Amino acid sequence: MIKAGIIGATGYAGNEIVRLLLGHKDVEIAWYGSRSYIDKKYADVYRNFFQIVDAKCMDDNMAALADQVDVIFTATPQGLCASLVNEEILSKAKVIDLSADFRIKDVAKYEKWYGIQHKSPQFVEEAVYGLCEINREDIKNARLVANPGCYPTCSTLSIYPLVKEGMIDPNTIIIDAKSGTTGAGRGAKVDNLYCEVNENIKAYGVAGHRHTPEIEDQLSYACGKDVVISFTPHLVPMNRGILVTAYASLTKDVSYEEVKAVYDKYYDNEQFVRVLDKDVCPQTKWVEGSNYVDVNFKLDPRTNRVIMMGAIDNLVKGAAGQAVQNMNLMFGFKENEGLLQVPMYP
Ligand SMILES: NC(=O)C1=CN([C@@H]2O[C@H](COP(=O)(O)OP(=O)(O)OC[C@H]3O[C@@H](n4cnc5c(N)ncnc54)[C@H](OP(=O)(O)O)[C@@H]3O)[C@@H](O)[C@H]2O)C=CC1
Ligand SMILES: CC(=O)N[C@@H](CCC(=O)OP(=O)(O)O)C(=O)O
């Protein structure tokens, strides 16, 4: 049994980590970190935990937390984990950061896209990008894991096999993505009010969303050369879910069977990636509440393009579920422990 602490337990991603860890047989939650609700009962912040969690919210003192737990999750705004983590903390506890602080290896690039100064550049090289299906072996030995972003998780897993096998020209990739509103966090913002979101759909971050360099980096590692993409996210009126539709030019004539064989090569043994049957397009409802990523593709001979599609629950595979999957790998637990939720439907 290990002990876990969550800094940012009162956010949407932190709340989802709590939900998943309560169902994990090898983990006890020892610290519900918060900034605004210190000493308030956690179940008073999230009443779905009434009579399930008795603990009160604690502060975000990462040094004190590291003395008491084996693993620390930071589900906090960009920059916070980098401002708190140090060598002493990492020598005592493993850290899984859900923010983007350690996802991008080029510190100058991170600072440009996020508009903040990196407070711990000395740990950037060491941090392992926690996309389990691709970096599994490195994650097992990591002290610090950079949990991938929600859009990058869905985009990369949808596209990766074809980039890796050279089947598409990576510099022709266009990613069109949609997210539910929990992706924006629980903090009050006018843009996320019911009347702004309901019955509406809009693009945002056009030609400048901060996930662009993260996706480009992962695809560049896959094909061994610099990749530049177009990425446009949209906000849609639903709570959870991300849907990715990505387009790219094929490098040669290929059949459905050849492309399917490539997806199967990478995902046949991946429990959480489901390559759907021919002509079935992923839907967010089919993965809601679960750690699954549903992917599929369609060839369009008329344009010589392939259309790659993926769906995840942004709070599970896009955040807390992937963080727990990373924790399982780091501590030698079964990779799917605590992650066997069947998607809820409807
Ligand atoms: N929502 C999502 O779908 C995903 C989120 N993430 C990442 O996870 C992180 C959290 O996101 P999310 O849960 O959506 O955000 P929320 O706004 O819902 O929650 C933020 C959390 O951080 C805490 N917090 C805020 N400011 C500080 C601070 N200065 N010091 C300490 N704690 C602070 C808040 O505490 P309190 O409320 O007590 O003040 C709250 O617990 C972000 O980095 C986000 O990018 C990653 C993937 C997907
Ligand atoms: C709908 C919405 O606002 N989504 C957020 C992304 C989700 C998130 O929290 O970002 P990370 O995955 O990098 O942690 C955004 O566009 O910034």
Q: Is domain 151-314 given the CATH code 3.40.50.1220 in the classification?
A: no
Q: Which ligand is nearest to the CA of 46?
A: 1
Residues 148-168: what's their mean pLDDT?
98
Determine whether the shortest distance from the Cβ of 100 to ligand 2 is under 6 A. Answer: yes
Cα-based angle 307, 244, 108 (whole degrees, multiple of 5): 110
- Closest C-alpha to ligand 2, atom 3: 184
What ipTM was reported for this prediction?
Answer: 0.97
Query: In this structure, are residues 319 and 74 in contact, taking their beta carbons and an 8 Å threshold?
Result: no
Asked if the domains at 2-126 and 151-314 fall in one CATH topology, the answer is: no
Residues 276-300: what's their mean pLDDT?
98
pLDDT confidence of residue 267: 98
d(C-alpha 142, C-alpha 304), whole Å: 41
Q: Which ligand is nearest to the CA of 36?
A: 1
Residue 252 burial (C-beta neighbours within 10 Å; 0-12, 13-18, 19+): exposed
Alpha carbon of 261 to ligand 2 centroid (Å): 32
Q: What number does the ligand 1 atom closest to the CA of 99 have? A: 43
- Tokens standing for residue 50: 């009434």
Determine whether the shortest distance from the Cβ of 92 to ligand 1 is under 6 A. Answer: no
Alpha carbon of 35 to ligand 1 centroid (Å): 10
Determine whether the shortest distance from the Cβ of 8 to ligand 1 is under 6 A. Answer: yes
Residues 253-272: what's their mean pLDDT?
98
Give residue limits of the domains in the chain.
2-126, 151-314
Alpha carbon of 250 to ligand 1 centroid (Å): 39
Q: Which of 75, 112, 83, 74 has the alpha carbon at shortest distance from 210?
A: 112
pLDDT confidence of residue 181: 98
Q: Which ligand is nearest to the CA of 186?
A: 1
Q: Which of 119, 63, 116 has the alpha carbon at shortest distance from 91?
A: 63
pLDDT confidence of residue 262: 98
Which residues are tagged catalytic? 150
Determine whether the shortest distance from the Cβ of 149 to ligand 2 is under 6 A. Answer: yes
pLDDT confidence of residue 259: 98
Q: Which ligand is nearest to the CA of 318?
A: 1
d(C-alpha 139, C-alpha 155), whole Å: 20
CATH architecture of 2-126: 3-Layer(aba) Sandwich (3.40)
Measured N-to-C along each axis, helices 150-164 and 132-140 cross at an angle, to the nearest 10 degrees, of 100
pLDDT category, 251, cuts 50, 70, 90? very high
Residues 6+ apart with CB under 8 A from 326: 96, 130, 132, 139, 145, 147
pLDDT confidence of residue 186: 97
Q: What number does the ligand 1 atom closest to the CA of 78 have? A: 43
pLDDT category, 180, cuts 50, 70, 90? very high
pLDDT category, 42, cuts 50, 70, 90? very high
Residues 41-54: what's their mean pLDDT?
98
Q: How many CB atoms lie within 10 A of CB 296?
A: 21
d(C-alpha 76, C-alpha 22), whole Å: 20
- Closest C-alpha to ligand 2, atom 10: 149
Q: What is the pTM of this model?
A: 0.98
Alpha carbon of 182 to ligand 2 centroid (Å): 9
- Tokens standing for residue 227: 């990749």
Quickly list H helices, the chain: 12-21, 42-45, 62-66, 80-84, 87-92, 107-114, 132-140, 150-164, 194-197, 212-223, 256-267, 321-331
- Tokens standing for residue 16: 């989802």
Choose which residue among 38, 98, 104 to substitute to test ligand 1 binding: the one with the highest number of ligand atoms within 8 A of its C-beta.
98
Choose which residue among 18, 38, 39, 76 to substitute to test ligand 1 binding: the one with the highest number of ligand atoms within 8 A of its C-beta.
76
- Tokens standing for residue 9: 């337990």
Q: List pLDDT tens digits, range 223-242.
A: 999 999 999 999 999 999 99
Query: In this structure, are residues 8 and 74 in contact, taking their beta carbons and an 8 Å threshold?
Result: yes
